[in-house]
Amino acid sequence: MENRNIIVIGASAGGISALKQLCSSLPADLNASVFIVWHMAPAVRGVLPQILNQVSAIHAAHGVDGEPIVSNRMYIAPPDHHMLIEQGRIRISHGPKENRFRPAVDPLFRSAAYTYGNRVIGVVLSGALDDGTAGLWTIKYRGGLTIVQDPIDAEVSSMPDSAIRQVTIDHIIPAEQMGPLLAKLVQDPANKDTPIAMEEDEKTKAELEIAGADTASGTSIFQFGVPSTYACPECHGVLTMLKDGNITRFRCHTGHAFSADALLEALTESIEDSLYNAIRGVDESVILLNHLGDHFAEANQPRAAAVYFQRATKVSEQAAMVRKAIRLAGLSADDEEPDAPENPKMPV
């Protein structure tokens, strides 16, 4: 019976500190392979391997497509690419974003669980929202072990909190204690194989095919869920609602995937953008109305000028109401944004 020698780690905001604490305490002879996804913007230069090599006895480098998996090595997902695990090798892809990120944690976790089952140990560290929760559920469902950073210890507790709420977690500990725990766990033989429902197995396989390709062409996700009333914030396609146990998430026909929290954040941003576009248009109308009012006032036509100034005042009030609605709904990150100034023009 083989040991639990596949370790997958996911982190986002606040994750660098946690990763350094974890990796610095791993022994050089861990006899396991470590795979790490850390959320980053596409244009960000991949600096994580350099950071971890300064503190870890195990060599870290970006994963390369087709690279063989070996022990005592840390594979880091490169910027703007998913990292997946196949039998004995790494798969690097530019597949659709999941939870608004590429790389995302869930595809890595899902692929590890699908390929290595009960040999996998999944670790969720500091981060915002809930990427990693669905993937951690798949690891647990397929017989693997689950570890989550204690939310009190995390700089940003949303990802650990979400995992703890929705997945059965084997260990909840501070990041600095994870290295010794992992060194102990990889010495233990994996449990016997866990029976997997055929539909769940087919769903996971389909999602890995989507994550591993540039498009979802030829792979239908509709059969594994039910159509939702929501449109994909990325491409506006119909979202299918999927279930992982009690976890609800969504995926569109082009492949974009969202947890409930990630979808809510995306929709909220879309609403805010639309409202601010409306405000921009209204503000431009106010400028034009005042300009016309000035024109008629200079032409000694006070009644016509008054009409335009009054309309400008009314439109300014409407813009102020939209700004207030944004703040009351909690859509704007800028709570200090002032109301639009009262129209300075007075009817002549």
Q: Using CA atoms in the order 114, 119, 123, 128, what is the torsion angle rounded to 10 degrees? A: 0
Q: How many CB atoms lie within 10 A of CB 273?
A: 11
The catalytic position among 33, 39, 126, 153 is 39
The catalytic position among 106, 130, 131, 261 is 131
131 in active site: yes
- With vertex at residue 235, the alpha carbon angle to CA 205 and CA 103, rounded to the nearest 5 degrees, is 50
62 in active site: no
Structure tokens at 37: 């996804």
80 in active site: no
Q: Are strands 89-93 and 82-86 parallel, antiparallel or unpaired?
A: antiparallel
| 252 Cβ neighbours under 8 A, 6+ residues apart | 232, 234, 235, 237, 238, 239, 240
Contact 124/159 with Cβ under 8 angstroms? yes
Q: Which of 91, 99, 76, 238 is nearest to 159 (CA)?
A: 99
3-state secondary structure of 140: helix
3-state secondary structure of 83: strand
The catalytic position among 12, 25, 126, 316 is 12
The string of DSSP letters for 209-220 reads HHHTSSS-TT--
Alpha helices in the chain (DSSP H): 15-24, 48-53, 105-116, 133-141, 158-166, 178-185, 198-211, 260-298, 302-328
Q: How far apart are CA 59 and CA 57, in angstroms?
A: 6
- Residues labelled as active-site residues: 12, 39, 131
